Chain A
Amino acid sequence: MSEATAPKAVEAPLTFLDDRLGSTTFFKRNMKKVFPDHWSFMLGEIALYSFIILLLTGTFLTLWFKPSMMEVVYDGSYTKLQGVKMSEAYASTLHISFDVRGGLLMRQIHHWSAILFMASILAHMLRVFFTGAYRKPRELNWLIGIGMFTLGMLEGLFGYSLPDDLLSGTGLRITQGVAESIPVVGTYIYMFLFGGEFPGQDIVPRLYMLHILLIPGLLLGMVTAHMMIMWVQKHTAMPVKNQTEQKVYGYPFYPVFMAKTGAYFLFVFGICALFGAFVQINPIWLFGPYDPGAISSGSQPDWYMGVLEGALRIMPNWEVSAWGHTVSFNVLIPALVPLGIVFGGAAAWPFIEQWVTGDKRHHHVNTRPRNAPVRTATGIAAVTFYGLLWLAGANDVLADKFHVSLFATTWFFRVTFFVGPFLAFVITKRICLGLQRKDADVIGHGVESGVIMMSPDGRFSERHENARDEEKVVILSKENTRPEAPARDAAGIPAPGTKGPIGHLRSRLNRAWTFDDIPVEEHEHEHGEQAEIEGGATSHEVKH
């Protein structure tokens, strides 16, 4: 906590609150709460701020949007659709776009904010994963985050389905297919969701209620919980000088962090507004009203559903019929398995890691990705897995724009879906270990100084100098693996955690996690050639 005090104008209202809410000095104290500074810590804030923009613009849109599947004949100002029969939902979206002042801008800001909301959550989650910020005690916040991303996917799907245009109707048709593919209860779920045969009259009003009431409410609650937990647990910090597991090093909330985060809100708002003003998104008037008999090429969902689309596109057409029932693996597997692996795996990961490494300590300082090679490699494998499916979702656009055969792209993704993640794992792990070796080298031998020395016998060599303190602190933040406790003690009794097949598995995984770790540590005495090159005393005193 900083010693800085706020001016009276700030302190007085806080004291007022503290006095009346019985929160003793909570507000006053927390004005000085310290936040560590790093650009990647702002990624989550994009999500928070775009969520606020979504709430505001969404409220504006509800003033004119009519969630109704009643058929009407359009007679608004978009001449190309005049006299066309369409649902009231579609007509009111056209009305918002062309006849409400600022309506199109609001619609576009709303949609772009949604794109940025989901993108920033994913970027934030990747940051948290690769720095190990999900470790104890922050597993719950990690789970809440995964829950918010999943809810965000649903929220987005329901949101862009509301205008009842050709593209969103195609998306709903796939949603219906996925619901129907669930064995045994599929048709019941589909009939319950749509209230009858597809598309029916009920789906848009139902999605509307979920989109503007239930899911935003849940998200708001989860955002609040996420922020409160973060506030109580304190933000993790990067391994920099002055930062320890016990003490947070950074700037106080008032006045520094407050100004920074306030400015960042304006940045996020500004970029959403610029996008909304200058870049067209979801031009429903070009798609036309939904008609179950029509479809367009290039029908893709918004980016966060792309991974499901890709899985569906590359899935072989497997169907099994038995005893008068059909199980559509061709839809069921792509809908459940890939995202199940990614989200289920992500949710279980903190606990798996804890179990494998046996590390039950609290962590407040982040790990550099290179110092946890297995974690980083697994993360990159998951990114590859997700990324390939995501690209496969755009395979017709890729085929068209890059002039390759559509079938070739399908087979490319079918093969790389299996091969890619393994390759990514191996390559990433080697890169991490290589970087560890470089760190060990910097600590053990210093950095190249660019000074060429000649020894008395005429040999040339470059003088190495100690790394800067700041650099050293970062590099030495690596926690070297300790030698594993022997599986059996001297009396031949196995250690408690190693018994049985589960214990055996744990030992194996633990070895895989640690066996190729490169120790990075300072040596007390320079050895051999190194000492000779540096020529003794001077080099240690040279500082940048």
Chain B
Amino acid sequence: MKRITAWRRRPWAGYAVVLAALAAIGVIYAGFSPRTDRAEAQSSAQAAQDLKHGQELFNKNCASCHGLNAEGTKDAKGNPIAPSLIGVGAAAVDFQVSTGRMPAMNPGAQVPRKEPVPAFNTSIKTDYEDPKERAEAEKQKAEAEKNLADLRAYVASLGGGPEVPAAAAVDPQGGDVALGGKLFRTNCAQCHNFTGQGGALTGGKYAPPLSGDDVTPTQMYEAMLTGPQAMPVFNDTTLTPQDKKAVIAYLVQTREEPNPGGNGLGRIGPVTEGLAGWLVGIGLLVLAAMWITAKKPKKLKKS
């Protein structure tokens, strides 16, 4: 011990201790970290191939508007035609392509939702009776999923950005539906209506309906995360992942719950109620009045 105490007072002792600590950390880290060098090398060859495939798909389907390097394009007056896709992330690509909005047919106030193009249509029917047909459909679906994944990976490789959420993050079963309702009414209902039926916005834009089964929880999450078109971005500080899950739970439960009072009249509020009251209610009562006044008593003393 005496020797150590003596060395401790040498001028180089401090440096020696720091060096030893760094070496120890390095050794421990090397021991804990997975030895993936070889696997990485192998899959990076695969990844490079996928990226190349993604780029091919990009060039074929997207580059005509977004530019060969995804830098975006402008018209002669300098107004943007299509935005730059550098940094938009995989989530944005997944949302736009899986909802069929991209590739867009024609530029307008807003690009509408439509059936995705065949190369990216991951929601095709596969439950055919005929095994051959089913196998083909499943193959096509798998191919579409692969295409979409490669395209996402390619665009993400251009500059990062939000990732596609994991399945657990969008599961409507796990969300707090009461909280979701509150968040939805405060943040979403002013455009999408209180039950997500959609609504009109300024300048020919509109908030699309969220009440259809084709709007998947993943798409809802991605829309909040990336803020497509007229929608604002709700990043993870504005709405935490838990909040987003709650909103998804509210939307899915609301669209699945039956109307306890009978026909919901589109669930868009008093406009359809007034219409039904006037057309059907007053209409039926006028018919009843006509019927009643057309009735003549059979026998009545002469008046």
The CB with the most chain A CB atoms within 10 A, among B200, B206, B257, is that of B200
Contact with A along B96-134 (1 / 0, CB 8 A): 000000000000010000000000000000000000000
Contact assessment for B293 and A80 in the assembled complex, using a CB-CB cutoff below 8 Å: no
Chain B 264-303 residues near chain A, CB threshold 8 A? 264-265, 267-271, 273-274, 276-278, 280-282, 284-286, 288-290, 292-295, 297, 300-303
B26 within 8 A of A: no
- With contacts defined as CB atoms under 8 Å apart, how many contacts are there between chain A and chain B in the complex? 203
Contact assessment for B285 and A271 in the assembled complex, using a CB-CB cutoff below 8 Å: yes
Contact assessment for A303 and B274 in the assembled complex, using a CB-CB cutoff below 8 Å: yes
Complex partner residue of A295 from B178, B189, B207, CB under 8 angstroms: B189
B49 within 8 A of A: no
Residues of B within 8 A of A282 (CB): 270, 273
Cα separation A299 to B185 with both chains bound (whole Å): 12
- Output the least CB separation between A114 and chain B (Å): 9
Residues of A within 8 A of B178 (CB): 80-84
Who on chain B is nearest to A397 by CB?
Answer: B271
Complex partner residue of B286 from A5, A39, A97, A98, CB under 8 angstroms: A39
B86 within 8 A of A: no
B139 within 8 A of A: no
Name which of B53-61, B149-157, B190-198, B235-243 contacts chain A: B190-198
Residues of A within 8 A of B288 (CB): 264, 267, 271
Number of interface residues, chain A, beta carbon within 8 A: 74
Number of interface residues, chain B, beta carbon within 8 A: 63
Name which of A116-124, A215-223, A353-361 contacts chain B: A116-124
Complex partner residue of A281 from B190, B204, B261, B271, CB under 8 angstroms: B261
Assuming the contacts A79-B177, A298-B193, A407-B202, asked whether A119 and B260 have C-beta atoms less than 8 A apart, the reply is no
B173 within 8 A of A: no
Cα separation A291 to B206 with both chains bound (whole Å): 24
Contact assessment for A271 and B277 in the assembled complex, using a CB-CB cutoff below 8 Å: no
Assuming the contacts A104-B261, A260-B295, asked whether A116 and B285 have C-beta atoms less than 8 A apart, the reply is yes
Assuming the contacts A251-B297, A264-B292, A300-B269, asked whether A112 and B199 have C-beta atoms less than 8 A apart, the reply is no
Contact assessment for B278 and A120 in the assembled complex, using a CB-CB cutoff below 8 Å: no
- Output the least CB separation between B9 and chain A (Å): 66
Interface of A is mostly: helix
B11 within 8 A of A: no
Cα separation A395 to B271 with both chains bound (whole Å): 10
Residues of A within 8 A of B263 (CB): 278-280
B203 within 8 A of A: yes
Contact assessment for B269 and A37 in the assembled complex, using a CB-CB cutoff below 8 Å: no
Chain A 285-341 residues near chain B, CB threshold 8 A? 286-288, 291, 293-303, 306
Name which of A147-155, A193-201, A398-406, A472-480 contacts chain B: A398-406
Who on chain B is nearest to A295 by CB?
Answer: B190
Cα separation A456 to B202 with both chains bound (whole Å): 75
Contact assessment for B191 and A297 in the assembled complex, using a CB-CB cutoff below 8 Å: yes
Contact assessment for B284 and A280 in the assembled complex, using a CB-CB cutoff below 8 Å: no
Complex partner residue of A298 from B259, B262, B271, B278, CB under 8 angstroms: B271
Cα separation A152 to B261 with both chains bound (whole Å): 25
Contact assessment for B269 and A271 in the assembled complex, using a CB-CB cutoff below 8 Å: no
Residues of A within 8 A of B254 (CB): 80, 286
Residues of B within 8 A of A119 (CB): 277-278, 281-282
Assuming the contacts A38-B293, A282-B270, asked whether A108 and B199 have C-beta atoms less than 8 A apart, the reply is no
Contact assessment for B193 and A297 in the assembled complex, using a CB-CB cutoff below 8 Å: yes
A179 within 8 A of B: no
Cα separation A115 to B272 with both chains bound (whole Å): 12
**Contacts A/B (CB < 8 Å), 21 sampled:** A3-B302, A120-B285, A123-B282, A166-B189, A167-B270, A251-B300, A251-B303, A263-B292, A280-B259, A281-B273, A282-B273, A297-B192, A297-B193, A297-B200, A298-B193, A298-B199, A298-B269, A300-B269, A300-B271, A396-B199, A400-B198
7 more A-B residue pairs beyond the given contacts A4-B303, A301-B270, with a C-beta to C-beta distance below 8 A: A80-B178, A115-B274, A251-B303, A279-B261, A280-B265, A281-B273, A396-B200
